[in-house]
Structures are given as structure tokens and as C-alpha cells.
Amino acid sequence: MSATNAKAAPNPLDALSVDGSGWAGDARSNALTRLRQMGLPTKRDEYWKYTDPTTLTAEDAPKAALFDAGEKQLFDDVERLKVIFVDGVFDAEASDDLSLESVEISRLADTTSADIHWAKPLYGTLETNGQDPVARPLAALNTAMATDGVLLRVTGKVSKPVSLIYRHKSETSDATLHHVIKVEDGGDITLTENGPAAARFNKVMEVDIADGASFHHVRAQGRDHERRAVTHMFARLGAESTFKSFTLTANGVLTRNECVIELTGDDAVATVAGAAVGDGVFHHDDTVFITHDAVNCESRQVFKKVLRNGAVGVFQGKILVKEGAQKTDGYQISQSLLLDDDSQFLAKPELEIYADDVACSHGSTSGAIDEDALFYLQSRGVPLKQAQDLLVLAFLAEALEEIDSEELSDALRQRLEDWLARRSAG
């Protein structure tokens, strides 16, 4: 068939439609329009060249077998308010009563038919802002098509963490959740997330942090070996506000976590950190973009990855300091520990600075376990596998130290120790 007579392949985005009613209708419609203009990501895109998005954009979710390690559920010893989703659907019976002082919690699915809601000015807004200068089509897809999520309005200091728990029950589940969090002046909340969520998971979280407010986020991604996930966190910080996010990832065929942060008020502090441990068919991508647009702000990016048996780790991190954002302090470090010659770490750190009174740095390293340290431990009677595990935990410690809560940090450290013990035994 000649080129002039060939028919163009149908665009799967043309078949999508959204519900344009209710308070979220305009944001959904706008997101779909933007998505059609951008198109779905491919490996030809600059920010996807290290990660193949094919299974994330396919019409159907690849099958993911259910997995149960027989472990105690993470954070079970922490007093918290539990909000549970099963394959992307809210489970009211398994969840706690959503009433908690200083925070208003509602469901996206329950509220979108209304004309007015406090989340209307925010839903899709931070996601839209985060599309410039780098397109994030899967986030726009989420805003257009998300079926559920939580809407949290924080008015004061919340007494215990709010815990989003994602359970995976169907081997072909394809979940899309969109969360909106508004932390008002002086508010303070800790939000935890854990669980595999679905065979394929697309999540967006938009976090608006007002002047003097604090948002603490601790997330654990696992445990299914065959799950796939793409997540986006968009955060906007007011003056003297604090944003801290930490993610632990173990297992999974493909995980891509994007974090886009805007520091728009003076004296704000943002920290995004992560630890990933991968074995075998494991591809983990952290992509971070932090914009300093105010005076005397601080940002930290701390990422550590431990990889073996052909696992792949990716880090793409950028600090953009706009004109006038003087006295910026930006720090970025990404490091990998490769436990064999088959694993791979791909890093792309970036700085773009348009102010002259700043202190910004970035560094990226990749290497094997320190043989001298290993020899020292063995010379003191520590068995080889135990010595290796101790050095792995020491390597990951810097990232775990970014968690303010000792209780949550201890829970994740124990999970890492359990993961290492299982693989040492194997």
C-alpha cells in the first residue's frame, strides 16, 4: 500500500470521554484536551528515554499475579486512621470512621456530582502547573479519568497519621486514583501510604501547603512482584511551610514515581527522599523537578537504590532556581549500590540557576559493596551474608534519616531487614 493511501493508526485517546458535570467537570475536560495535545509518552521522549512506558499506556493492564509474603501488615503498630482501597475502589467496611479532629476527609467519587466543593480550585490545578516545562501525559490522563480518591482539608494539627492502604485482589485490576490535600495556615498532617494497589496503578496527589503549614508523607510500595505503577505528586509550598516525602520501594516489575514541587513562599523547606531495593526483573524510576520561586528556601533530594540480578534503577532530578529566588539552598544526591555486574543505574542530575546568591549542589555515584568494610566485618566474626546486609542497611540509612517520625522510620527499617533476610536465605 502506498504512503498516500495508507490509513493512520487509530488514536486510542480519541475514544476517551469524560463526565463534564459537577465541580470537577471542567478540570476533567481540560485535562483530556491537554492529553490529546501532548499524546501518550514514548521512549523517544527525553524524560522517558530510560523507562519504557509501553505497559503503562497499553489499553489493558498486563496481568499481575497476587502475592502474599505472609508478613505482618506495614504500620500495623502505628495508631492511625485507615482509609482502604481495594483495586482502586474505596472499601467503607474495612476503613475506619473518617471523622478526625482538624481534618475533613471525603471521597472524590462521592462529591463530584455536586456543583461546589472546597477542592474545586485545586483539582487538576497543580497538575496543570506541573506540565511546564516538562510534559507529564499520564498525570493529565489521571486528572481526566480518575474514578476515586480522597479529598483532605487540614485545618490544624492532626493528632495521628491518616493512612491510605491499597489492596490488590484482581490479577487484571487497573486502578486510577486522584487525591487532593489542602493544608491550611498552621495545619500539620502526616499521611502514610502502603500496599500494591492493583496490577497497574496510576495515582496523582496534589498537595497545597499554606503559610506556616506542614505536610509529612511516608510511603511504602510493594509487595507484589508483577505490579506496575506510575505515581505523580504535585506540591505547592507557601511561606515558612514544610513538605517532607519519603518512599520505600521493594518488588514490582515497573515503578515510576514523579515528584514536582513549587516553593512559592519565602523560607519554605521541601525534602523528597527514597530508598529502593530491587532483585531481578525490577525497574524503578524516580523523576523529580523542584522549582525555587521565593527567597531563602531549602530543598533536599536524597535517593538510594540497591540493585541485583539485573535490576535497573533510574534517577532524574532537577533543581530550577528562578530569577529573584536568592539565598536558595538546593541539595541533591543519588546513589546506587550494585550487588552484581548485571544490574544498572542510570542518573540524570540537573541544575538550572537564574539567581546569583545560591548554594546548590548535586552528586551521583554508583558502585559495589566496599570490600574493605566487608573484610573488616568478616574479620570480626560476622558471616558474609550478614555482613553484606549490614552494609546495605548502612548505605540506605541516609535516606531513612529524612523521615521525622522515629516510629514510621523504624517500621520501614524493619521491613528492609526482612526483605534482605528473605533474599539471603534464598
Residue 418 to residue 373: CA distance in whole angstroms: 22
pLDDT at 4: 47
Mean pLDDT of 134-147: 96
The DSSP element (H or E) to which 425 belongs, if any, is: helix 406-425
Buried b (16+ CB within 10 A) or exposed e, 198-229: bbbbbbbbbbbbbbbbbbbbbbbbbbbbbbbb
pLDDT digits (tens, 9 = 90+) for 286-335: 999 999 999 999 999 999 999 999 999 999 999 999 999 999 999 999 99
Q: Which residue has the higher pLDDT, 38 or 20?
A: 38
pLDDT at 82: 97
Residue 229 to residue 257: CA distance in whole angstroms: 8
Residue 270 to residue 264: CA distance in whole angstroms: 11
270 forms beta bridges with 243, 299
Residue 62 to residue 348: CA distance in whole angstroms: 29
Residue 239 to residue 251: CA distance in whole angstroms: 38
Residue 425 exposed, middle or buried by CB count within 10 Å (0-12, 13-18, 19+): exposed
Residue 221 to residue 208: CA distance in whole angstroms: 23
Residue 79 to residue 139: CA distance in whole angstroms: 32
Sheet arrangement for strand 188-194: 89-90, 81-86, 162-167, 188-194, 214-221, 242-250, 269-279, 298-308, 328-338, 358-367
Residue 119 has pLDDT above 90, yes or no: yes
Residue 71 to residue 187: CA distance in whole angstroms: 34
> What does DSSP assign to residue 166?
E
pLDDT band at 1 (very low <50, low <70, confident <90, very high): very low
pLDDT digits (tens, 9 = 90+) for 334-382: 999 999 999 999 999 999 999 999 999 999 999 999 999 999 999 999 9
pLDDT at 407: 94
Sign of CA dihedral 34, 37, 42, 44: negative
pLDDT digits (tens, 9 = 90+) for 153-167: 999 999 999 999 999
* Range in 54-68, 82-96, 230-244, 275-289 with the lowest mean pLDDT: 54-68
Nearest to 261 by CA among 226, 290, 220, 292: 290
pLDDT at 417: 87
Residue 114 to residue 176: CA distance in whole angstroms: 21
With H, G, I as helix, E, B as strand and everything else as coil, classify residue 46. helix
Nearest to 341 by CA among 315, 314, 367: 367
* Average predicted confidence (pLDDT) for the chain: 93
pLDDT at 2: 44
Question: In this structure, how many other beta carbons lie within 10 angstroms of the beta carbon of residue 72?
Answer: 12
Strand-pair category, 242-250 with 269-279:
parallel
- CB-based contact 416:246 (threshold 8 Å): no
What's the predicted TM-score (pTM) here?
0.94
Nearest to 57 by CA among 45, 73, 71: 45
pLDDT band at 419 (very low <50, low <70, confident <90, very high): confident
